[in-house]
Amino acid sequence: MGKESINERDAMKRALLLVLDGLGIGAMPDVLQTRSQDIPANTLGCILRYHPDLAIPTLTRLGLLNSLNHLPEKSIDLIASWGWCNLAYQGADSYLGHQEIMGAIPLDPQKTLISEKADEFESILKRQGFTISRPFSGKPLLCINDAIIIADNLEADAGQNINLTVCTDLIDFEEAINIGKIIRSNVQVARVIVFGGPGLTLSKILAHVEERKNGQIGVNSPALGVYNENLLVKHMGFGVNPDLQAASIFARADEEVFLDGKMADLIECDQAIRNPIVETHKLLDCIQTQFKTMKSGFIAATVQETDLAAHGGEIDRFATILETIDKFLFGFLSQMDSEDLLIITADHGNDPGLKTGLHTREITPLLVYSPTLPAIPLGGRDSLSDVGASLVEYFDLPKTQNGKSFITEINRGKNEI
């Protein structure tokens, strides 16, 4: 579908996909077998326990509490369809969660600690002319050209990701990405993440190295303070085909595509306009501006500070961010036209009450609103990829790799009213 066919439509359509990073609503059914530590996890439930008077009236009317309880609340005048999404990918990972949201079927990665690959990485990189050292004697952590640390990712499950923490004042970030590609081609972990920013020194990075009882050794990235507007990051996934994801499908149809917040770091789409904003207020202002000016297309935005708050066990901060989002949504809904669409979900859980600082394998909320669509229960979805499948169907675009659209179900409910 090209520009001419878009202009021939009777009405322009705009969509906002808002991902609330880490806002799980209860453990996945499979955690007893796969992640027993997550059995008690319920991120939203935790926030509500500590903040029973949480001021989220708009999210409540959109069905957030319904999705949490899996039950309709008769006393609430719901304005949106609601349900919940299961995670089809393994573990609890932002990258994989976002790929699935966009309609992908991520391949099952192979968990690998840096200790299992350090010797191999060192040999490969030395053959290609890089200088390799080991800052801690007898430890597998690698230092490349005195500017990059290769180690485990401490924010995900042991062996799930490998990080390259980069002193960008000492080495060009594109060169660091090329080194990351070498690592990526020699390991089957879910992600190889290359990241850094100005002001990082090798001594500062090494001062934030931690060892865990599960065998991990890596840099505590949140404590390092890299999550700010100067962050440079490249996520290299395993077995993901971006051409079959919603963002690329929209772009090929000459629709406007904006990737905001953490979404800008995680999703591949060359034609998209990216705004990798971390601070929630700035992110929401950016969304507001884009939505007002765009003619037809979609905004995919991820609020990252919820996840960062949970990593730090900051329950009060998490609650404040949810209230900030709720206030934004109150004004945003009033500006939506009849053909506009809003979808809210999450990528995994991150229960700050468990005090682990780690992601939790939880189902996620699903809230779907348009001024002309009815509010119906959508139940449990098999996969987050139903979100991407629904976005492309709403715009009459080709299908995503995976997912079953819920737009047909909502329209059926509209016809039955």
CA distance 99 to 154: 21
CA distance 23 to 4: 40
Predicted pLDDT at 105: 83
CA distance 351 to 318: 10
Predicted pLDDT at 71: 75
Predicted pLDDT at 370: 97
Handedness of CA 273, 372, 54, 86 (dihedral sign): negative
As a residue count, the chain comes to 417
Q: What is the pLDDT of residues 215-252, one digit of tens each?
A: 999 999 999 988 887 889 988 888 788 999 999 999 99
CA distance 330 to 345: 17
Q: Which of 315, 299, 214 is nearest to 258 (CA)?
A: 299
> Can you give the pTM of this predicted structure?
0.79
Predicted pLDDT at 415: 58
Predicted pLDDT at 156: 85
Strand partners, 153: 219
Torsion angle, CA of 233/235/241/245, rounded to 10 degrees? -60
Q: What is the pLDDT of residues 177-205, one digit of tens each?
A: 999 999 999 999 988 999 998 999 999 99
Contact 187, 117 (CB under 8 A): yes
Contact 293, 277 (CB under 8 A): no
Residue ranges for the chain with pLDDT beneath 70: 1-11, 72-75, 414-417
